[in-house]
Chains A and B, each alone.
Chain A
Amino acid sequence: MLSKKQLFTRGMLDISPHMLSVIPFGIICGAIGVELGFNPYLVYAMSFIIFGGASQIVFLQLLSGGASSLVAVASVGIINSRHLLYGAVLSEYLEKLSFIKKLLISYVVVDQGFSESNKFFKKNRSEEYLHYHLIGTGCTMWVCWQIATLSGIILGSFVPEELGLKFAIPLTFIAIVVQDLKKIDHLIVMITCGLSSLLFFDAPFKSYIIISPVIALFVAALLLRLKK
């Protein structure tokens, strides 16, 4: 049985490789906000209040492009609605926690943290303090995101744009799903999602980011039925 501290550290270690792409992306996010002419304090407030990578950039781009606040807020909600799916998966492992602890831990659920903690949870179901792994991944992400966006706000885009470091974001997610490519059912689900995201890319409010997972999960349900 691992201690709380060991699980927390394990979570930190499991998510830390992703910081290779998260930190440059955070710097770019902070720098873009200031470049678009927003108050630096407000740009930073987003990292604390929204704490949601790409949704923060979209929010600022929409507002600076003249969209109404309503449209910008709705887009953030839709982009981040994928967390509902993460929550549904994680709830199995967090059931025993008190309501207050569930409320607190929810704030740090992020894409990479969900994926790394979910992988760990599946292999270590019997651990008593499992949630400390999720706290470890989430807090690591939180601290790195605050520091990265803050440095982008203060120092500007000191990451040269020519390097195209935004490309590191799809790469980090390739690293997450690549081992499931060998499972034919997962491969079909991934291709469905990917192609749908390109097909629906122009759908309003960036809704492709939730439409395509819903279509892909529907295909997954069909595959499960065929398997039986």
Chain B
Amino acid sequence: MTLVSIIFAGILTYFTRMTMIALISRDRLGDRIKAVLEYVPSAVFPAIIFPGIFINDYGAFIEMNDPKIFGALVAVIVGYFSKNIIATILAGLISYWFLIFVVFS
């Protein structure tokens, strides 16, 4: 049973990937839509970032003094100036660990 639903979920996911690339002709999108599409990364990724920081595993909002907020701020600052992906991720994780293992332990 589960395998059947996995296959359905897989087909559905594949269609989300394939539809705009293979089925829709680019010419059918107007210039205005093309201009708006420039904003896709900025319009999509915060929907992954914000809940990943501000909402915990149980679906509740975190406290304002949660270490994740500090870790995310450090990551933003380090990322902005270093322009380096690894530095951004490590800075966020290490500052987060510093708070949970050293400061709050």
Contacts and interface: CB of A to CB of B under 8 A. Distances in A.
Interface stretch (A3-11, A144-152, A162-170): A162-170
A73 B7 CA distance: 9
Nearest to B5: A69
Given A167-B68, A174-B75, A197-B47, A89 B37 contact: yes
Interface residues of B, number: 68
A173 B100 contact: no
A170 B96 CA distance: 13
Contact of B6 (A42, A111, A175, A177): A42
A46 B83 CA distance: 34
Contact of A168 (B39, B76, B89): B89
A213 B71 CA distance: 24
B10 A49 contact: yes
B72 A118 contact: no
Interface in A20-75: 20-21, 38-39, 42, 45-46, 49-52, 54-55, 59, 63, 69, 72-73
B103 interface: no
B13 A50 contact: yes
Interface string B39-50: 111111111111
Contacts, number: 264
A contact residues, range: 35 or more
A176 B45 contact: yes
B52 A90 contact: no
Contact of B9 (A50, A85, A212): A50
A142 interface: no
Interface string B9-47: 110111011111110101001001111111111111111
B36 A220 contact: yes
A1 interface: no
Interface residues of chain A: helix, strand, loop or mixed (majority): helix
A216 B39 contact: yes
B21 A109 contact: yes
Contact of A213 (B3, B44, B55, B75): B44
Nearest to B71: A167
A217 interface: yes
A80 interface: yes
B36 A87 contact: no
A226 interface: no
Interface in A185-228: 185-186, 189-198, 201-202, 208-209, 212-213, 216-217, 220-221, 224
Interface of B: 1-10, 12-14, 16-22, 24, 26, 29, 32-55, 59, 61, 68, 71-72, 75-76, 79-80, 83-86, 88-90, 92-93, 96-97, 100
8 contacts: A59-B9, A77-B13, A88-B24, A162-B100, A168-B92, A174-B75, A189-B43, A197-B51
Given A63-B5, A91-B21, A194-B46, 9 more contacts: A63-B2, A69-B2, A85-B20, A87-B21, A88-B24, A88-B29, A209-B48, A217-B39, A217-B43
